[in-house]
Structure 1
Amino acid sequence: MKKLLILFFISTFSFAQNKIKSQQIIDNEKFQGIINRIETFPSKYITPRTVDIWLPKDYSSNKKYSVLYMHDGQMLFDATTTWNKQEWMVDEVSTKLMQENKTDDFIVVAIWNISQIRHTDLYPKKPFQLLSIEQKNKVLVEAKKSQFAFDENKINSDNYLKFIVKELKPYIDKNYSVYTDANHTAIMGSSMGGLISMYAICEYPKVFGKAACLSTHWIGFREFENNPIPETFFTYMTKKLPNPKNHKIYFDYGTETLDADYVKYEHRVDEVLQSKGYTTENYKNLKFENENHSEASWQKRIDIPLQFLFGK
């Protein structure tokens, strides 16, 4: 029989006179650890959404934890509720790594997406602004051929990052026993989540000391001839990547389905990072043959970036 305990409590959020109702979920059949769920996290920057805070089973206020912020939070812990019945198994893998003493202790803050606005929330705005008017028009024509409804004026990634940095992180720092410095704060995502994680460490290097970007969606929308989008990301990274002396960044990619479109750009990722002084000590760009663009593939290798970010 499923063992499920839900506890409700109210806490006052410092940046506004909003009250956050959180439910604590302990399910021994599904979760390794405890999930505190805030179903409508208040925000003045973005559409309010669910946030899950995953804590290890032995979480204690008597010690400090690093923090991992992750995007697409509804895909991380429970395959029975995801649209494709796949999950990252972040709780199981994280638990195993900590139990085996392969990583420092950490908690995971999982930000759910809202599917209708996911692309405009996660598409980095400043790289898009590097396009010429002619290039933008070409991109918008191609975007209409994809599943993405796109309008430059609706790109909301700068506000999405403000939500994390100015609203969500202060709440986590106040209510959980965590380190608050950049060296103990990481951000991770896949596909568009990879792009916004790259953007986050570049825009807020004093907040995020580490980032992991899996199957990063360099093509922006869909691949097409003479696609100018990837180079906007590499130009932006050349200007904005933070100091490699106190930052770490992880990239990877598969070779099947949508990931196959990224392969021809991966040499540029290496060129840019190496030109900025990154070495094998503080960056990775790993290829996974025959892996595709799915939670099932990311689940197989999630232990690698977790150890890169928090490994002992």
Structure 2
Amino acid sequence: MRALALLALLSLATPALAQPAEAGEVIRLDPIGSEQLEARPISIYLPPGYDTGMETYPVIYAMDGQNLFEPGYSYAGVEWGLDEEMDRLIAEGRIRPAIIVGIWNTPARAREYAPRQVFDTFSEASRSRALEAWGGLPVSDIFLTFLAEDLKPYIDRNYRTRPGPDATALMGSSMGGLISFYGLTRYPETFGSAAGLSTHWPIYADACHQDPAVADAWREQALLAWAEYLDTTHLDPQTHRIWFDHGSINLDSLYPPYQSAIDAIMAEQGFIGSANYRSTLYEGADHNEAAWHARLADPLTFLLGVEAAANPASRMPQ
């Protein structure tokens, strides 16, 4: 009888345990652009309960939008799984619900994501190598103007957002991580946080794959350019939040000396030791969507995590 009673209890409990967590929704807007930028689709993740409530939400603007949610559109058919990861972390109570705006890239991706103010300090010979490959000068400042002055106001008008910088973040991988950090420095009163996964500090990588002397010279030039540029920016370690990470194999194997130098620069600006700055090495991690998916929970909890609730200055607010 006790065995039968136990089986009955288990049969009652099983359906509840087996029910999937409530899922968010991914929608796609018609292509949006500007007079100076090619129009591109925008994919938007709306968290569970968005359609039935009146809550307002933080927003993360994420680069390479076609790689985030749907494998049919992503590079090599592998996506970040960003929507599923958001659903899981929300259901587990580890992050606050948020809207994700995925901005698709275009054939001009390198030009849109390469930081113009940094690139302009490179030598003429170095710039020429990149310009020949890219087909023109970087248009990152134009891209960021579109993002901050066209796209963000559109999202704020049409969705229930919290529009302040303390609830607005940028996020991306590789050069998408580069433009996310650059965007924070260009619009520090619009965006309060940035997360760069495998941030592509060299800007133009081809030169780094040559002989060690060429790679060393390029790195020295790039880091000097970054140091000069960051000395002109006005980030606040008390209010701005920054996540950097990188792996250790293939393209990511180039990044450790760059990231160490950037960390030293940010230390001079008061970020090292702050809860608002994180720089992480993932040993054995590659430079691809699968690797970024594997560690996606870490930057998301850094940006949206509920564990920081006791320290309002170190988080995006509820």
TM-score norm. by structure 1 comes to 0.83
**Aligned AA for 2:60?**
L
In structure 2, the CA distance between the partners of 1:47 and 1:268, relative to structure 1 (3 Å rule), is same
Question: Among 62, 69, 76, which residue is 2:61 paired with?
Answer: 69
Which protein is richer in strand relative to its size? 1
1:44 is aligned to 35
1:229-250 per-residue CA deviation (whole Å, 9 max, x = no partner) reads 2331233223315111111000
1:306 is aligned to 300
**Aligned AA for 1:74?**
Q
Displacement after TM superposition at 1:150 (Å): 4.2
8 Å Cα contact 1:51-1:112 kept in structure 2: yes
In structure 2, the CA distance between the partners of 1:82 and 1:179, relative to structure 1 (3 Å rule), is same
8 Å Cα contact 2:90-2:97 kept in structure 1: yes
Question: Among 278, 285, 309, which residue is 1:284 paired with?
Answer: 278
Alignment partner of 1:297: what SS? helix
Distance in 1 (alpha carbons) for counterparts of 2:196 and 2:103: 16
- How many residues of Structure 1 are paired with residues of Structure 2 in the alignment? 274
Question: Among 180, 189, 193, which residue is 2:163 paired with?
Answer: 180
Q: Unmatched 5+ residue regions in structure 1?
A: 1-28
Question: Among 159, 163, 184, which residue is 1:201 paired with?
Answer: 184
1:167 is aligned to 150
Alignment partner of 2:50: what SS? coil
Displacement after TM superposition at 1:155 (Å): 1.3
1:95 is aligned to 87
**Aligned AA for 2:40?**
R
Higher deviation after alignment, 292-301 or 257-266: 257-266
Matched, 1:217 2:208: no
**Aligned AA for 1:163?**
F
Displacement after TM superposition at 1:130 (Å): 2.1
Question: Among 45, 55, 73, which residue is 1:54 paired with?
Answer: 45
Distance in 1 (alpha carbons) for counterparts of 2:35 and 2:45: 24
Matched, 1:294 2:288: yes
Distance in 2 (alpha carbons) for counterparts of 1:89 and 1:97: 12
Matched, 1:234 2:222: no
Displacement after TM superposition at 1:142 (Å): 6.3
Distance in 2 (alpha carbons) for counterparts of 1:232 and 1:172: 34
1:269-288 per-residue CA deviation (whole Å, 9 max, x = no partner) reads 21011110112401011001
TM-score norm. by structure 2 comes to 0.82
Q: Percent identity?
A: 34
Displacement after TM superposition at 1:303 (Å): 0.7
1:20-57 per-residue CA deviation (whole Å, 9 max, x = no partner) reads xxxxxxxxx9x942122113114234111100111113
In structure 2, the CA distance between the partners of 1:241 and 1:297, relative to structure 1 (3 Å rule), is farther
The root-mean-square deviation of aligned C-alpha atoms, in Å, is 1.8
8 Å Cα contact 2:176-2:199 kept in structure 1: yes
Q: Unmatched 5+ residue regions in structure 2?
A: 1-19, 209-213, 307-318
**Aligned AA for 1:297?**
A
In structure 2, the CA distance between the partners of 1:229 and 1:143, relative to structure 1 (3 Å rule), is farther
Distance in 2 (alpha carbons) for counterparts of 1:241 and 1:307: 25
1:80 is aligned to 72
Distance in 2 (alpha carbons) for counterparts of 1:170 and 1:234: 32
Question: Among 126, 132, 156, which residue is 1:138 paired with?
Answer: 126
Moved >6 Å (runs of 4+): none
Displacement after TM superposition at 1:289 (Å): 0.5
Alignment partner of 1:189: what SS? strand
1:67-102 per-residue CA deviation (whole Å, 9 max, x = no partner) reads 000000000011233231211110011111111111
**Aligned AA for 1:157?**
S
Bigger Cα Rg? 2
Alignment partner of 1:269: what SS? helix
